[in-house]
Structure 1
Amino acid sequence: MTISVILPTYNRSGCLVAAMNSVLAQSHEDLELIVVDDGSTEDIESVVREVGDQRIRYVRRARNGGAAAARNTGLGHAKGEYIAFQDSDDLWLPGKLQKQFALFSSVPSHVGVVTGAKIIYGRDNQWNYGPGRVAYAPNPGGRLRLDEDQLGRLLTENRISLQNALFRKNCIPDTEWFDVCARANEDWDFAIRLAQHTSIYEDPDPVVLGFISTDSISTNGRKQIIGLLRILKKNREVLRGRKKQRSLMLIDVGRYFYTVGKTKRAIRFLAAALKEYPPHVKLLWSTLLKKLFRRRPQRAQA
C-alpha cells in the first residue's frame, strides 16, 4: 500500500538530506517522498536530486507561502491512500511507517489517524529552550482515548504533531487540509477540524526525533498567540457549547499579553475568560501571581 510522504522545506539544505534519508530508509518501502521547495533561495533541487532515489518527487513553489501552503501543495501531488508528513529538521525513527500502518489493521474502521510521540532536543517539558534540554511529547500519561470527547481535549491540548502521525487520505473531506493564512499553530487548527470528522488513535511509543532550530516557529510566542486567536475566531460555533475550553484558551491569550507588558489587554482577556466560565476564578486566584503567567499556550508539540 503506497504511502505519500510530504516534506516541505525552506532554505534548510544542511539538514534536508538526513530528514529525507530517514524516510527512504523505512522498512515500509512502498512510498513516495514529495519534497516541496517553498520558494527557497538556496539550491534545494540539486540537494534533492543528489539523493538519487526514484521514489522522490521534487515540487517547487514559485513563492514562499509557509508550511501550511507547502503541505497543501504536496497533498495536491499525493497518489497514495495514506498520507504522512516529515519536516526538514526532524528524523523518523526506524520502523515508523510499518508500525503505524500495521496499527490501522487493529483499530476500529472509524479511526482515520494513528499518531505517536516525539523525542525533542532543544527544549524541556516545561517549554524552556536551550542546548542540552530534552522533552518527550506529548505527555504519555494523558493519551487520547477512543471513547472520550477527543474534540474537547484537542481544543485546549494539541497532542498531534504532524510528523508523528499517519493519516488515511480520506480522513478529512477538505481539499486543502491546512489554513494557509496561519503562520503558527496551523497543525493545532488542523487537529481541531480533524477531530470533527474522524477518530484518532494515539500510541505512546516515540516515532520521531525532533530538533528545535533557531528559526523554529514554536519558539516565536507572538506567532503562536496570533495562531491561537485565529483558532478562537474560526471555531466560534464549536466553542459556543464548550465554555470551559474557550475560557482556558482566553486565559492563555491573557497570559501572553501580560508577559509582553500589555496589561490592559491581558485584563480584558482574563475578564472574558471568567465571564465565559466563572469556576475558573479559583484557577486565576490561586495562580495569578506565579503559575498563571508561566502557563504556556497549548501549541504544536515541536
Structure 2
Amino acid sequence: MTSSLSGFGLGMRREHYAAYVDGSAKVDFIEVISENFMVEGGRPLDTLFKARSNYPLALHGVSLSVGSADGVRSDYLERLRQLVDLMEPAVVSDHLCWTRIGNFNSHDLLPLPMTEEALQVVCANIGRAQDALGRAMLFENPSSYIAFPGAMTEWEFLAEMVSRTGCRLLLDVNNIHVSATNHGFDPIAYLDGVPWRAVGQVHLAGHSVGQTMLIDTHDQPVPECVWQLYAAALRRAGDLPTMIERDDNIPDLAELIGELDTARELHAETLAFEAAA
C-alpha cells in the first residue's frame, strides 16, 4: 500500500488537541509521533481517532532504529502495524539513524557512517519493516553533530537506499542546514543529489545556536536561512507536501498557522516563478 499527502500540515501537539479533534485547525494534514500512540486503547488513541476523522494523518516514528546492527525489533513492528491498521495513515515515516542496541535505548537519533556496510544494514532493516507493514515507508535525513569517515556523501547514501529498498524520503530542510553548517558541506550540493522522485514529504523547523554548532531543537520559528533552502528545494522538485515541526516552546496555534501560511505563500510564489521562467 502506498499513499501520499498534499498541502500543508502541522505536528499535532497536546496543547492544540482540541482544535484537531473538533476540526477547526486550518491545516491540510496532521502528523504525530507514532510511539505516543502505540498503546492499548484509552484516551490517546481516542483523541487521535477523532482527529484522524478530520485530517489525513502522517505517523512519524523515532524508535525503529534502521541503523541497528542487530536488526529492527519484532515487538516494535507488531505494535506499529497495529497502529497503522487502526488509523490507516497516509504515510508512515521514521529516521535514518540508530537509537538502540540490544535492550539499550539511547532515546536519541544517532548518526551512521556513510559506508557500504552501514548501507547494507539499513536496507535490510528497511526491507523487513516495509514487509511487516505492507507498505513503503518514508525515511528522514538526520541532523548530526559528529561525522564519521565514509565512502559516500549523505545524499549519495539516501539515493542508494531508495534505489535498493523502494522506500521514499522525508526531506527535513532544517536538518540539511544544520548538518551543512556543522560539517562544512554545501547544502545546495545536497539538494542537487536528492532523488526528488522519491520525496514524499518535507519538514521545516527552527534550531538553536550552540557554542560551536547548530542544534536541531525544534523550539524556534523557521529561520530565513531555512526558508531560502526550502525555496531552493521547491525549484528542484515542484509541489511538495510540507509540514512545520514545533516540539518545545510551543506557541498558540494561531501563531503556528501563521508560520504555515508563510510556507503556503513561498510555495505558491516559487512555483509560479518557475512556471513563468
TM-score tier, shorter chain, comes to under 0.3
TM-score in terms of structure 2 length: 0.26
TM-score in terms of structure 1 length: 0.25
Q: Which has the larger radius of gyration?
A: 1
